[in-house]
Amino acid sequence: MNPRRYLAVVGDADAPLPPHLTGEALAATGLEINVAAPWLRIWHDPRMPVTVNADLAVLGHVAWDREAPEGPLQALADLLPAWGDWLAIGRDPDNCVWIQRSPLGHLPAYVMNIGNRVLISSDAELLLKAAGCTPAIDWSFVTTHLAFAHLQTAQTGLEGVTELMHGSLLHPATTETQELTWSPWAYTSSDREISTFDEAVSCLRGAIDRAVRGTLGSHRQPLLELSGGVDSSVLAASLARGTCGASAATLVTDRREGDERRYASAAAMASGMPLLEIPVPGAPDLDRPIGRRLARPGLPLLLSPADRSLADLARHEDFDAFVSGAGGDCVFASPISAAPAADVLIRFGLGRRAVKAIDDLARIHEASGWEVARMAWQQSRRGPLHPVWQRRTAFLKNAHDIPLPVHPWLDEPDGVLPGKRSQIRSILAALAHVDGYGRHEVAPSIYPFLSRPVVETALRIPSWLWIEGGIDRAVARRAFSGFLPTLVLERRTKGGLDGYGIAGIEAHRASLRIFLLEGHLARQGIVDRGEIDDVLARPISRTDRCYHGLFPLIDTEAWVRAWLGDP
């Protein structure tokens, strides 16, 4: 059972709990009761840290960059300097209840208002059972989810259920509006900028080491997901300098693009870490039912075989946490456009700095300097290509009529540099993919790069320093250059799943046709059946990018069926 599973019930202290909230009814869940106060009851996995006093309860792991305050935590002000994966529930002097989720914390917090009570849980299915509610799909969420990929807001796919977002505060009795208490934009102002490459290297190395130590907490036998790319190899180097007995695992498919053992072995050997090789089946089961009910579509079915393999390994070897380099590309500002050169043009104008940034980008992308200069000049003179978020239209009906979602991070201050806008939007997209893994029923995942120390430091580093010397993620590479093998430091390629995904569609083409054309999304009029049929009717090749758009439809249809069954 998930060691971070919990349910909290707030309010109406004098009224008895309904039958579905009694200890006897919840005993089968494996959660233990912790009565924090007359106004608050908490059920949680015995392995989850929970601290309570008269007016404050803190669930999950709290980490500090400085020495933790002496004595018990009494108020929200005591917690705000902290980071980690925690949720706080408290009362102010007027007995008004508040709920706070840690900035960049990865402990889910789903919320429902039921009469005079507020229910909060890490598990959407548990939340609905505790509320005595029949699940109902919010179809407006489904259309938004498909049209605006990787943008996760407070809305979930279940009617009546919202999620408290990272770094947000909620007073559920008086408003449904979440108050943002932490914003990434606070770390992008010029007065907080790290101005030199050497200072950036030193600060980032320190932040990563603090994040690895802080996120591990009491875990003593973690498993690192090691691809041999720069990001996961940096984590291997940082873990090796710690005191825990970490091991590493690398996933291997039967296609060259999915076999990164050469790089993973080099990184593991350099860190002195044992490496386990996990074979992944030749084609994913894209028509396999989802066994778990989640608040939103979670783990892509394309990755489910690897997820099951990692879960089985953790059970067999008693690993107590998974360590992931997820988000590294985003946090370390891997350039996907000419934005770093545009930033230099905006900040310093035409001159030596701009020429250097253009040359660095041209070397990274193996492109013409004149072409990079043209794109950088255009980007420095106009607004973003996608003012809010890129809209996806493939296979969707009426995609242009779907309302733009709202997220507080997209409300940017004036004068934002294009590179910082791109970096923050990329981090936001990465945060949409940290939940919903089946292996979390065995052990939690830890994301050091998506933790507060690393993100805050990375946002203070100007985009042009990340491309120093014509090398992407240059600051991260230099920060750990003494601990990584040359093979990894000089690596410029990434593993891929294109062939693996094509094999999955080819193996299940007939069943996928029925699955999508006769599924819930088609019956709700959300997808274009003719367009889907056309793609599934023709041979699929690597040059045909249309098939990529099928995977979100498959994942979403499978998620709906987990709640509603087959149509």
Find the CATH number of the domain harbouring 62. 3.60.20.10
Domain that holds residue 175: 6-180
Q: Burial code of 246-256, b = ≥16 C-beta within 10 A, e = fewer?
A: bbbbbbbbebe
Asked whether 341 and 320 are in contact (CB, 8 A), the reply is no
**β 222-225/247-252 pair status:** parallel
**pLDDT tens track for 322-356:** 999 999 999 999 988 899 999 999 999 999 999 99
Which positions ≥6 away from 493 have C-beta within 8 Å? none
Choosing from 115, 146, 180, the residue where a domain stops is 180
Residue type, 94: D
In a domain, 320, yes or no: yes
**Distance between CA 60 and CA 217 in Å, rounded?**
11
* 14 band by pLDDT with thresholds 50, 70 and 90: low
The reply to whether 382 and 288 lie within a common domain is no
User: Among the ranges 173-177, 257-261, 465-469, which has the highest mean pLDDT value?
Assistant: 465-469
Task: Read off the CATH number of the domain in which 224 is found.
Answer: 3.40.50.620
pTM for the model: 0.94
In a domain, 422, yes or no: no
In a domain, 1, yes or no: no
**Distance between CA 166 and CA 431 in Å, rounded?**
9
Asked whether 163 and 302 are in contact (CB, 8 A), the reply is no
**pLDDT tens track for 165-217:** 999 999 987 778 899 999 999 999 999 999 999 999 999 999 999 999 999 98
The reply to whether 473 and 546 lie within a common domain is no
The reply to whether 22 and 151 lie within a common domain is yes
> Count of H helices and E strands in the chain?
21, 17
Bridge-partner residues for 538, per DSSP?
Answer: none
Q: Which two tokens mark 195? A: 């101005």
Helices (H), 392-497: 418-431, 452-459, 474-479, 486-489
The reply to whether 53 and 168 lie within a common domain is yes
User: Span 264-292, mean pLDDT?
Assistant: 84
Choosing from 463, 489, 515, the residue where a domain stops is 489
Asked whether 389 and 148 are in contact (CB, 8 A), the reply is yes
The reply to whether 436 and 325 lie within a common domain is yes
Gyration radius from the chain CA atoms? 24
What are the phi and psi torsion angles at 322 (to 5°)? -105, 135
DSSP tag of 255: S
Choosing from 372, 388, 417, the residue where a domain stops is 417
